[in-house]
Structure 1
Amino acid sequence: MNVLLLAPHPFYQNRGTPIAVNLVLRVLSERGDQVDMVTYPEGRDIQYPNVTIHRTPRLPFVHNIRPGFSWKKLVCDFFMIFKVIGLMSRKRYDLVHAGEESVFIALMLNLFCKLPYVYDMDSSLAQQLIEKYPKLTLLNSFLNFCERVAVQKAAVVVAVCQALATDIQAYKPKNVVVIPDISLLN
């Protein structure tokens, strides 16, 4: 299977989400899947058979990208879109595995190319934005609508905990699987 894995964060760094993505890469590699991963410029490369890491451009004003929403992530996400378009023009994929906000790139690929995607959901993006920026409460309905569409269109939503899986049931997902964030179980 040809898999396009979207990882909107520095990879590899020894922290939560990159650890989880590393485990996904290891499993896909061991299964024999061909994986193209698109990620940010920061982090160190990890080698697996059948896995190619594609990075967004390193920009002099974008460094030390931290977890959570930031203008730095928006800049990298913008370039991630172009990297994905370039890969899609050269290769046919069977599935997109999208984490965090990259689910909206996967959603566009689903709408325009009928490419199924797995939404690797660590948290509610809508809730996260409103908690960090309370003034966005005015956009609560729109943010929840965007999240609902991303969840509904996903072939599978992989939630990191049962509470998140329960919360998104209101969105009526096709399929939800709970895989606890094992990086937190140490």
Structure 2
Amino acid sequence: MKILFLAPQPFFEVRGTPLAVLHMVRTLAALGHQVDLLTFAQGEPAPLSGVRHLRSLRLPVGRVKAGPSLAKMLLDLPFLAEAAWRMATGGYDVVHAVEEAAHLAAPFTRLLGVPLVADVDSSIPDQLRYSGFARRGPLLWLAKALETHALRRSAAVVTVCASLTDAVRARAPQARVFQVEDPPLVDGHAAPPPEAVAALRGELGLPALPVVLYSGNFEPYQGVDLLVDAAPRVPEARFLFMGGEPAEIDALKARTASQGTATRCIFSGKRSPSELPVFLALTDVLVSPRRQGQNTPFKVFTYLASGKPLVATRIPTHTQLLDDSLAFLVEPTPDGLAGGIRQALADPTEARARAARGRALMDREYSPARYAEKVARAYDAIAALVHGR
């Protein structure tokens, strides 16, 4: 099929939604579909074999951070204009639209008679609330209304976790829903060269002490501040933070200085996904400190695949995938995170056992091969719907 894939994101950037888009379009192309990917003008080039990458008009809005923002709303305007023109002239069989692109494209796909696949990587109303951009009022009401309309008008809906699947079915009971969880970014069975690990340890100034790693963006819902505040309670470990914007890193560095942990909290900044296996290799404990959210974090699949012990907050975004046999689940507080990290470090036998069960789960249910199977199954069904119109 010929697919117009709409992803209103800077592309490529190392964060959850662009990574999910990268894997999906690559997989669709590998399955033999013709894919045109439309994104914002911002972002770095990415290898996209078999995918035509289109960009909407650039506006002088500066860097687009993760989550809702005025800059992103402004960029949605030329993005939608480009998408509508492509839909009208491109002869597409399907429009696959990620997050708010589905809300914006739904009226046009209906008018033009092109089937819409809504890709629900997260809930936009939830994003607005969690970020503080709109906790109430007309913007939140409009987002809910547009999301419900898009879900009910879609030929199919793709979700990434059980909570989103349940939410879609509650709001659009007739929707055809396909749950396709994110694939891990690393092969946990392939260790990087020891010299590469030693070189990174030297670059970051990490002594031969336990290392606790967080990777991802530093948006408030991620709970990175909770992990920074846990550091004083685990004096035997170094805390490594991979990601974040410069201003966010500066604020957290000031926080560590006031707590006396500046020498034990290391901020590497954003790094290429190709470096992630080396970061994971030098790590003793991985942490997902998220304080709120609905979708399972992309990073959790990679963390489990690495075979390293995982500490995660005991909230639905994690517990729909994790239990106490796979990870050290804790309350979303500095004390809770510190207690889980200390437990993982103090009982390496139990930590290794939980990590091994987590990696086995990834191999069995969420490997890249299983991801490709789920995408193929979803698009076989979508093709049958399209051709049966």
Q: TM-score, normalised by structure 2?
A: 0.45
1:144 and 2:144 aligned = yes
Greater Cα shift, 15-24 or 133-142: 133-142
Q: CA deviation at 1:137?
A: 4.2
Of residues 95-104 and 169-178 in structure 1, the stretch that sits farther from structure 2 once superposed is 169-178
Which residue number in structure 1 is paired with residue 39 of structure 2?
39
**Residue 35 to residue 165, structure 1, CA distance change in 2 (3 Å):** same
Which residue identity does 1:150 align to in structure 2?
A: A
Contact 2:97 2:105 in 1 (8 A): yes
Rate the CA distance shift 1:64–1:113 in 2: closer, same or farther, 3 A. Answer: same
Whether the 8 Å contact between 2:103 and 2:149 is mirrored in structure 1 is no
1:160 partner letter: V
Taking the aligned partners of 1:6 and 1:138, their CA distance within structure 2 comes to 25
Contact 1:10-1:18 at 8 Å conserved across structures: yes
Identity percentage of aligned residues: 32
1:64 corresponds to 2:59: no
Letter aligned with residue 5 of structure 1: F
Judging changes above 3 Å, is the alpha-carbon distance between structure 1 residues 57 and 127 closer, same or farther for their aligned structure 2 residues? Answer: same
Distance 1:77 1:179, change over 3 A: same
Inter-CA distance 140–39: structure 2 relative to 1 (3 Å threshold)? closer
Task: Note if contact 1:10-1:42 (Cα within 8 Å) is conserved in structure 2.
Answer: yes
Quote the Cα distance in structure 1 between the aligned partners of 2:21 and 2:15: 10
Higher relative contact order (CA 8 A, sep 6+): 1
Measured against aligned partners, the alpha-carbon deviations of 1:1-50 in whole angstroms (never above 9, x if no partner) come to 11000011111112111111111111111122211111011112224343
Q: Distance in 2 between matches of 1:138 and 1:108?
A: 20
Q: Given that residues 153 and 173 in structure 1 are in contact (C-alpha distance below 8 angstroms), is that contact kept between their aligned partners in structure 2?
A: no
The CA distance in 2 between the partners of 1:88 and 1:15, in whole Å, is 27
Q: 1:95 deviation in Å? A: 0.4
Gap runs ≥5 in structure 2? 184-297, 303-389
* 8 A contact 1:4–1:36 mirrored in 2: yes
SS in structure 2 of the partner of residue 18 of structure 1:
helix
Equivalent residue for 2:166? 166
Corresponding letter in the other structure for 2:107: M
Check whether the contact 2:7–2:37 (CA below 8 A) recurs between aligned residues.
yes
Question: Counterpart in 2 of 1:99?
Answer: 98
Would the alpha carbon gap of residues 71 and 139 (structure 1) be closer, same or farther in structure 2, given more than 3 Å must change? closer
Number of residues of Structure 1 aligned to a counterpart in Structure 2: 185
Cα separation, 1, equivalents of 2:88 and 2:118: 22
Report how far residue 155 of structure 1 moved.
1.5
- In structure 2, the residue matched to 1:114 is 113
The amino acid across from 2:124 in the alignment is L
- State the AA in 2 paired with 1:58: R
Higher Cα radius of gyration: 2
Displacement over 4 Å in runs of 4+: 137-142
SS of residue matched to 2:136? helix
Equivalents in 2 of 1:155, 1:47: separation in Å? 30
Conserved 8 A contact 2:109-2:116 = yes
**SS of the residue 1:136 aligns to:** coil
Does structure 2 conserve the Cα–Cα contact (< 8 Å) formed by 1:154 and 1:173?
no
* Aligned counterparts of 2:45 and 2:77: Cα–Cα separation in 1: 22
Name the TM-score, length of structure 1 as normaliser: 0.89
Establish whether residue 156 from structure 1 lines up as the match of residue 156 from structure 2: yes
**Paired position in structure 2 for 1:53:** 53
How far apart, in 1, do the equivalents of 2:134 and 2:125 lie? Answer: 11
- What is the distance in 2 between the residues matched to 1:137 and 1:43? 32
